[in-house]
Chains A and B, each alone.
Chain A
Amino acid sequence: MADTDQSVRPRRAGVPVSRRVLPGFGLSLGVTLFFISLVLLLPISGLVIHTAGMGWEQFWFVVTDPRVVASFKVTVLAALAASLFNCVFGLLMAWVLVRYEFPGKRLLDAIMDLPFALPTAVAGITLATLFAESGWYGRVLAEFGIEVAYTPLGIVVAMAFTSVPFVVRTVQPVLEELPPEDEEAAVSLGASDWTVFRRILFPVLWPALVTGGGLSFARSLGEYGAVVFIAGNSPYVSEVISLMIFVRLEEYDFAAASAIASVVMGVSLLLLLAINVWQGRYLKRLHGGRG
């Protein structure tokens, strides 16, 4: 034993022993932090500083302008409707992609990402054309007296279209991981198909669905490109908040623009934080209180 001890010992004094097996921790973490600061933190703090310069009273005045408040309402309601729609439709899409085998499945899987890849302006123009009164969908819907283009409903359609992959892509891996034995166990205990979905599948999918829905909502709040083409943008009716920021910018009122932007940012951040906290607690329970 004594000689093995000695063979281990010779090591230059003062050189700390690296306990990490994976190399490059310092460098990669440094680059990551630098990049995040450059791309995220710096602009965000710039925005906050810019806004802070204007004083509370003026901030409140800008933010509570009736037209701005109306656009807030339109945006939040439309985003809410869009993300709820996406939760249902995205869950269905994920279910189909995971549970069934059919020709063209891989193609469909690839197409799911199209809304992310497509320039939002292209999406907006396409949707506006389709849903216009003379468009393919618009013509059919007009017969039922439903107007989509240039109404708040159009905003919902555009938001839903651009953010549906969030739900599909968060739910899909969870569904894939779900062991079929869980369902088989439930059925062998006499549960009906609906009970299996409600009591076994849904509670496990729920956190992913909330995350996907939350991301979809946050993205919809800020959606600009796809929305402006189909929304009609009439003040107090179908103006979204990101358009309001743009309008203020066009008026060279940078302070007002950043004030409104900071509110949107605050809401998005709070939402994501809330989802993370809630989900952390929920998942902790599933993993036996060990996080």
Chain B
Amino acid sequence: MTIEIDGINKSFGQFQALRDIDLAIPDGQLTALLGPSGSGKTTLLRSIAGLENPDRGRILFSGEDVTGLHVRERRVGFVFQHYALFRHMTVSENVAFGLKVMPRRERPSKREIRRRVRELLEMVQLDHLAGRYPAQLSGGQKQRIALARAMAKRPEILLLDEPFGALDAKVRKELRRWLRSLHDELHFTSVFVTHDQEEALELSDQVVVMRQGRVEQVDSPLALYSQPDSRFVFNFLGQVNALSGAISGGVLRQGEAWVRLPESCDDDDAELYLRPHEVRLTQEPSRDAHLPFRIEAINVIGAEVRVELRPDGWESEELWEVGITHSAFNARQPRRGDRCYAVPDVGHLFCDHLSEPKTLSWYESAG
């Protein structure tokens, strides 16, 4: 089932949570709504579910206008951030709830309900906990029960509000993979809200980045990471190394730092954004870039060594961060306070007078 959102607006008093949202969510895919807190992503999700009534605009499920439909009639599965399990009911009573409250004519027989509940509990691999109360479950188990409950009426749309937000890192990762495989198996249309960019990139087919009640960019995870439309999206999706300065004669310059741009650019104020993996560390400046640094800190984090760099002779709002491999680290043995240079491989240039960023590559000119 596709979801179309057509010019949705929503205000809470003075605060405008959603501004003219237009969005198409494709059938059978996992879509992430990603944004910082207060960006309107949860309000959008709740509007799709019918838990929030938009002030203006329409919501369509497979072309059918559902804006006026009550939550009860929208037939969506909704999973809440804090699970919202009914604590006075056992796990199986929780899962059966949606089936038991159906009008008598449509309600399956008791035996059928029991069979379906067992099936759902098997699906979430928790059939051995059927008689437990929610308070006796771990966070990850609760979330899976909440999911089973939301799926009990076989909705074609599943909406999840920060589904893994309250779980610890390991369980979160496990559940993410499990949800992904469940989704691939059952092919419902699902939308989930998250503020964790890693989660959005790993789990979804399509990411909707939101900011201050607007949609900033809609793209596949890969496109989003490699070609962000705006500085905001770039900043939001992971660590950024930035050099802001002025372009003159094809060279971006600030203080002692300069980078020769491989493509011709008009003179303008601009910012060059680089991901940690798009930069190399060297002892000497290269022909195209002179970016002096002092090493501020060296953090060994799992598979790579992260080096924090303080600009030397120029300014940057935040420290730069470059990842190097353990073998490179062992070969060179850099130490705190050492002077070194960064050499960009790929970068993203945001000029003040251009709306679109330019992706630059230094590979050819270096080779």
Contact = CB atoms under 8 A, between A and B. Distances in A.
B49 A186 contact: no
Given A181-B80, A191-B101, A199-B101, A186 B86 contact: yes
B133 A286 contact: yes
Contacts of B80: 181, 184-185
B135 A290 contact: yes
Contact of A204 (B76, B87, B149, B152): B87
Contacts of A179: 82, 84
A200 interface: yes
B78 interface: yes
Interface string A54-89: 000000000000000000000000000000000000
B354 interface: no
B144 to A, nearest CB: 15
Given A188-B76, A288-B133, A181 B84 contact: yes
Interface string A167-183: 00000000000010110
Contacts of A204: 87-88
Nearest to A286: B87
B78 A185 contact: yes
Q: Determine chain A's interface SS by DSSP, over half rule.
A: helix
Given A185-B78, A288-B136, A190 B87 contact: no
A288 B129 CA distance: 13
Contacts of B97: 186, 189, 191, 199
B72 interface: yes
Interface in B72-110: 72, 76-78, 80-82, 84, 86-88, 97-98, 101-102
Contacts of A200: 86
A182 B84 contact: yes
B187 interface: no
Nearest to A187: B71
Contacts of B136: 288-289
B173 interface: no
A190 B98 CA distance: 6
Contacts of B149: 185, 189
Nearest to B159: A188
Contact of B86 (A182, A187, A192, A287): A182
Interface in B16-68: 49-51
Contact of B84 (A184, A203, A285): A184
Interface string B231-269: 000000000000000000000000000000000000000
Given A181-B80, A287-B135, A288-B135, A188 B86 contact: no
A76 B78 CA distance: 49
Contacts of A134: none
Interface in A183-224: 184-192, 195, 199-200, 203-204
3 closest A-B pairs by beta carbon, nearest first, are A288-B135, A189-B98, A181-B84
Interface of B: 49-51, 71-72, 76-78, 80-82, 84, 86-88, 97-98, 101-102, 132-136, 149-150, 152-153
Interface of A: 179, 181-182, 184-192, 195, 199-200, 203-204, 285-290
Given A188-B77, A286-B87, 19 more contacts: A179-B82, A181-B82, A184-B71, A184-B80, A184-B84, A185-B86, A186-B86, A186-B101, A189-B97, A189-B101, A189-B153, A190-B101, A191-B97, A192-B72, A199-B86, A286-B88, A286-B135, A289-B136, A290-B135
